[in-house]
Structure 1
Amino acid sequence: MATIIFENISKKFGTNQVLQNLNLTVEHGECFTLFGPSGCGKTVLLRLLAGFDVPDSGRILIDGRVVTDAANHTDIPPDQRDLGVVFQDYAVWPHMTVFDNIGYPLKLAGKSKAEIHQSVMETVALVNLTGLEQRLPSQLSGGQQQRVALARALIARPTLMLLDEPLNNLDANLREEMRFEIKELQKKLGITILYVTHDQEIGLAISDRLAIMDKQGCIRQIGTPWEIYEQPENEQVFRFMGLANFLPVTHHADRHQIGEGQQILNWPGLPAESGKVGCRPSDIILSRDGDGLTGKIVRASFLGPVMDYMIDIDGTTLRTEISTHEALSNQLMFAEQETCQVTFHELHWFANDVSLRG
């Protein structure tokens, strides 16, 4: 296992400042995921850690060992950092068999044929490729090729694995299968993983902790998947993690009204100011009558197991889903233009990019 420390890391390409004074610690044995929009510096940070690029300023430490220090011009080569790297394009050699692809790092290291054979066969079994050792990549599925790439990165038993969108090129079913396999591998081998992705499902499923980065390359929040999803520290984190609904709120005469309308939002803990409340589709409770905000169904979509509704409340639209079974059982199969009542399981308050969990 390895502890990773980034200290005041900055990196610029031309006039584009990608990272600036970034600080981050990844603990021993964690599966830590970097989330963020394209161009925010996730992959750049991974490449700096791997030694493929050097920062303009700052230090990187792996298990207390300084591998990069811009001030002292320290730059340990990638092959001496005890890490494995897997990219999204697999990067397996098409002219080599599965066996030769996986064993190639050991061949470069000058290991004997017996050592290579033993290590390759152990690693083949580890990634569920037994029986495919003599096949070429062209004879493998996408998921199998990705397993080859994983095995090749694992063959030297590194203490640290860097994964850059490794499942992007797989279909939905394979992505789901592989994300669980990666998590199992991490548990079995006790290695530290730094994972880069924009796929929220994968990140939430495999991460012990994750960090949300903004377009400027700054980290906006670090926490467990539950903390990030349920306790967002700001509006940007809330918007990034899943489908987000927002209702503008105006504070007037000790009351909170929705947008420019007259409907009153009664929710405990709202500050005496204007702002907005956010909620997930699962936070919305629909009914045909009773208390709550009055809305109108502007779109009703049957999606098999769920009904997907878009609701207009005083000029603002919200998305919600309800299981088809529940909708049928509780007379909640709404048609477009019907009215409904909306209440909430949970709301988050956002004002000036500061959030208060309701």
Structure 2
Amino acid sequence: MATITFENISKAYGTNQVLQNLSLVVEDGECFTLLGPSGCGKTVLLRLLAGFEVPDSGRILIDDTVVADPAKHIDIQPDQRGLGVVFQDYAVWPHMTVFENIAYPLKFKKLDRETVRSQVMNVVDLVNLTGLEQRLPSQLSGGQQQRVALARALVAKPTLMLLDEPLNNLDANLREEMRFEIKELQKKLGITIMYVTHDQEIALAISDRLAIMNVDGAIQQIGTPWEIYEKSANETVFKFMGLANFIPIRYEQGQHLVGNGSQLLEWQTLPQASGKFGCRPSDIILAKQGNGLRGKIVRASFLGAIMDYMIEIDGITLRTEVSTNKALQNNLMFAESEDCVVNFSDLLWFPESANSARG
């Protein structure tokens, strides 16, 4: 296992400043995900850690070993950093068998043939490729090729695994299957994993902690999947972590009004300020009558297991989903243009210029 420390890392390409004074610690034995939009610098940070590129300034440590420090001209080569890397495009050799692909990193360790075979077959079994070791990559599915790439990264027994969007080229079912397999591998081996992705579902499923990066390469929030999803630090994080609804609130003459209308919020704990509430589709409670905000269904879509509704409240549109069974059982089947009543199970308050807090 390994602890990773980034200290004030900066990296630019010409006039394009990708990372600036970024600091981050990944704890020993955790699965840590860098999550952010394309071009935010997350892959650059991974490449700096791998040793494929050198930071302009700052230090990178693996455990207590400084592996990169341009001020002191330290740049330990990638093959001496004790890590395995899996790329998005698998990068398996098409002319080599599964066994030969996996064994490739061991060629440089001067091991005897039996030791090589033993280590290769151990990881073949670990990634569920038993019986396929003599096949060529062209005879494998995408998921099997990805397992070959994982096995090749694991065979040299690294203390640290770097995964750069490794599931992007798989279909939805295989992505779901492989993300759970990666998490199980990490648990079995107890190694540190640093994972790069822009896919929120994968990040939430496999991470012990994750860091959200914005388009400028700055870290917006670090936390557990639950903390990031339920306690988003700001609107950027909240928007990025899934379907987000926002409800603008006007504070006028001591009253809170919704959107551009005249409906009042008379909740006791509201701050005396304007701002907006954020909520997920699952936070919205629909009804046909009773107390709550008055709205109108502007779109009703039957999607099999769920009913997807678009609601309009005083010029604001919100998305919510109700399971079809629940909708049928609880008189929640709405038609377009039908009136509705809206309440909320949970809301996240975003002041106009302050940190967020639960409302």
CA contact (8 A) 1:235 1:353 kept: no
Aligned equivalent of 2:274: 274
Q: Following superposition of structure 1 onto structure 2, how do residues 7-156 of structure 1 map, counting pairs within 5 Å?
A: 7-156=7-156
Q: 1:104 Cα deviation (Å)?
A: 0.5
Q: Within 5 A, what are the aligned runs for 1:169-318? A: 169-318=169-318
1:326-357: CA deviation from partner (whole Å, max 9, x where unpaired) = 10111110000001000000111112263111
DSSP-derived class of the 2:110 partner: coil
My pick for the range that moved more, 148-157 or 270-279, is 270-279
Unaligned runs of 5+ in 2: none
What letter is aligned with 1:88? Answer: Q
Q: Residue type matched to 1:339 in 2?
A: D
Q: Secondary structure at the match of 1:326?
A: helix
The answer for the alignment partner of 1:6 in structure 2 is: 6
What is the DSSP-based 3-state SS (H/G/I as helix, E as strand, rest coil) of the residue aligned with 1:44? helix
Query: Given the two structures, how large is their TM-score scaled by the length of structure 2?
Result: 0.98
> How many Å separate the matches in 2 of 1:144 and 1:266?
57
Output the CA distance in 2 between the equivalents of 1:292 and 1:21.
47
Structure 2: distance between partners of 1:215 and 1:310: 29
Name the residue aligned to 1:334. Answer: 334
Residue 357 of structure 1: aligned partner: 358
Q: State the secondary structure of the residue aligned to 1:334.
A: coil
CA distance in 1, matches of 2:128, 2:232: 38
Amino acid at match of 1:357: R
Q: Which amino acid aligns with 2:288?
A: R
SS at 2:71 equivalent: coil
1:166 aligns with 2:145: no
CA contact (8 A) 1:294 1:342 kept: yes
Q: Which amino acid aligns with 2:67?
A: V
Q: Deviations over 1:227-262 (max 9, x none)?
A: 111111111111111100001110012211012200
- Aligned to 1:260, what secondary structure does the other structure show? coil
Distance 2:188 2:167 in 1: 20
Decide whether aligned partners of structure 1 residues 263 and 38 sit closer, same or farther in structure 2, where only a CA change above 3 A counts. same
Counterpart AA for 1:100 = E
Deviation at 1:57, TM superposition (A): 0.2
Query: What is the Cα deviation at residue 269 of structure 1?
Result: 2.6
Contact 1:101 1:148 in 2 (8 A): yes
Task: Answer whether contact 1:235 1:354 (CA < 8 A) is retained.
Answer: no
CA distance in 2, matches of 1:57, 1:39: 20
Inter-partner Cα distance in structure 2 for 1:280 and 1:314:
19
Letter of the 1:191 counterpart: I
The AA in structure 2 aligned to 1:181 is E
1:70 CA drift (Å) = 1.4
Paired residues of 1:2 and 1:160 also in contact (CA < 8 A): yes
Structure-2 change in CA distance of 1:353 and 1:149 (3 Å): farther
In the TM superposition, residue 311 of structure 1 has moved relative to its aligned partner by 0.3
User: Normalising by structure 1, what TM-score?
Assistant: 0.99
In the alignment, the residues of structure 1 paired with residue 23 and residue 333 of structure 2 have an alpha-carbon distance, to the nearest angstrom, of: 50
Task: Give, in whole Å, the separation in 1 of the partners of 2:231 and 2:217.
Answer: 21
Partners of 2:358 and 2:340 lie apart in 1 by: 26
- Stretch of structure 1 that moved more, 139-148 or 342-351: 342-351
In structure 2, what residue type is equivalent to 1:272? Q
Between the aligned residues of both structures, percent identity stands at: 74
Residues 127 and 155 of structure 1: is their aligned pair in 2 closer, same or farther, counting only changes over 3 Å?
A: same
State the secondary structure of the residue aligned to 1:138. helix
Task: Determine helix, strand or coil for the equivalent of 2:341.
Answer: strand
SS at match of 2:356: strand
Q: CA deviation at 1:119?
A: 0.7
- Give the secondary-structure state (helix, strand or coil) at the position aligned to 1:71: helix
Any stretches of 5+ residues in structure 1 without a counterpart? Answer: none
Q: How far, CA to CA, are the matches of 1:308 and 1:108 in structure 2?
A: 56
Paired AA for residue 93 in structure 1: W
AA aligned to 2:55 is P
The whole-number CA distance in structure 2 between the counterparts of 1:129 and 1:32 is 26
CA RMSD, Structure 1 to Structure 2 (Å): 0.8
For each residue in 1:146-169, what CA deviation from the matched residue of structure 2 results, as whole angstroms up to 9, or x when unmatched? 000000000000000000010011
